[in-house]
């Protein structure tokens, strides 16, 4: 579904990624983990079109995403849930969700999609007319995921979805991601909580200083003695 090959990116003179390569197959959860500054969020920014890479290729369904606007990438079926959720706190929960349906031209289908996400996230129905600012951090994360799902993504990108959440809400977020995989949504997950990410994902790539330091399937990474050493830089 997604292939990233030789991806390089920089912010001014600072090189953030050095020839990063990985792939995501349909129906998988693939995780990217690593310490702060490893290049995880930069990778998602390049895929989602908010950052133009300096080298390398990004192909989705066999077609290049490089140079496309974020809006066109969303319309091709790739949705991003950004770090910090970035919901519109000045709008209601309903208005935030309606923004997710802008890519759906048939409004009856959009309403049906909205009903489905409210069934998946019942807390959003409870606070449907309330200001999004009144939601807790975990509830805002559910809103951000629901809003992204309303664009009907085939590939869902998530940037640090557990950041700043209470343990019980982290459990709920990871449970939701497993449910999305079971329903056929493919997920590329960037996550600081490496242990939880590796345990959930089908495959994981470990980034350090903008390079892939280690990769593998869930079982081999959970049992390898190299995983912690690479993650900590030992």
Residue range 162-193, pLDDT digits in tens: 888 888 888 988 998 999 999 889 999 999 88
CA-derived radius of gyration, the chain: 17
Q: What are phi and psi of 169, to 5 degrees?
A: -80, -30
DSSP-derived 3-state class of residue 216: strand
Q: Whole-angstrom distance between the N-terminal and C-terminal Cα of the chain?
A: 33
Tens digit of each residue's pLDDT (9 = 90 or more) over 129-146: 999 999 988 899 999 999
Alpha helices per DSSP H over 82-121: 93-100, 107-120
Distance CA 193, CA 106 (A): 39
Confidence check: pLDDT of 225 > 60: no
Length of the chain: 234
Contact 24/40 with Cβ under 8 angstroms?
no
Q: What is the pTM of this model?
A: 0.89
Q: Which fold has domain 2-87+152-232?
A: Rossmann fold (3.40.50)
Tens digit of each residue's pLDDT (9 = 90 or more) over 52-67: 999 999 999 999 999 9
Of the listed ranges 27-41, 80-94, 122-136, the least confidently predicted one is 80-94
Closest CA to 175 of 199, 194, 149: 199
């Amino acid at each position: 579904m997604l292939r990233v090959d030789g991806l390089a990116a920089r912010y001014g003179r600072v090189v953030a990624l050095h020839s990063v390569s990985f792939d995501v197959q349909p129906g998988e959860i693939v995780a990217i983990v690593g310490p702060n500054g490893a290049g995880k969020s930069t990778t998602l920014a390049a895929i989602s079109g908010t950052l133009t890479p300096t080298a390398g290729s990004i192909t989705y369904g066999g077609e290049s995403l490089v140079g496309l606007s974020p809006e066109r990438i969303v319309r091709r079926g790739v949705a991003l849930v950004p770090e910090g959720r970035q919901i519109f706190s000045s709008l209601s929960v309903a208005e935030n969700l309606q923004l997710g349906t802008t890519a759906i031209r048939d409004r009856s289908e959009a309403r049906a999609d909205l009903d489905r996400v409210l069934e998946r996230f019942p807390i959003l129905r409870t606070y449907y007319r309330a200001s999004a600012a009144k939601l807790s951090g975990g509830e805002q994360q559910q809103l951000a995921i629901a809003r992204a799902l309303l664009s009907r993504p085939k590939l869902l990108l998530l940037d640090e979805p557990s950041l700043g959440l209470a343990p019980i809400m982290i459990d709920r977020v990871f449970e939701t991601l497993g449910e999305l995989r079971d329903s056929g949504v493919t997920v590329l997950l960037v996550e600081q909580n490496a242990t939880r990410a590796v345990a959930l994902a089908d495959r994981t790539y470990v980034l350090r200083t903008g390079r892939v330091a280690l990769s593998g399937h869930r079982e081999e990474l959970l049992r390898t003695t190299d995983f912690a050493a690479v993650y900590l830089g030992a």
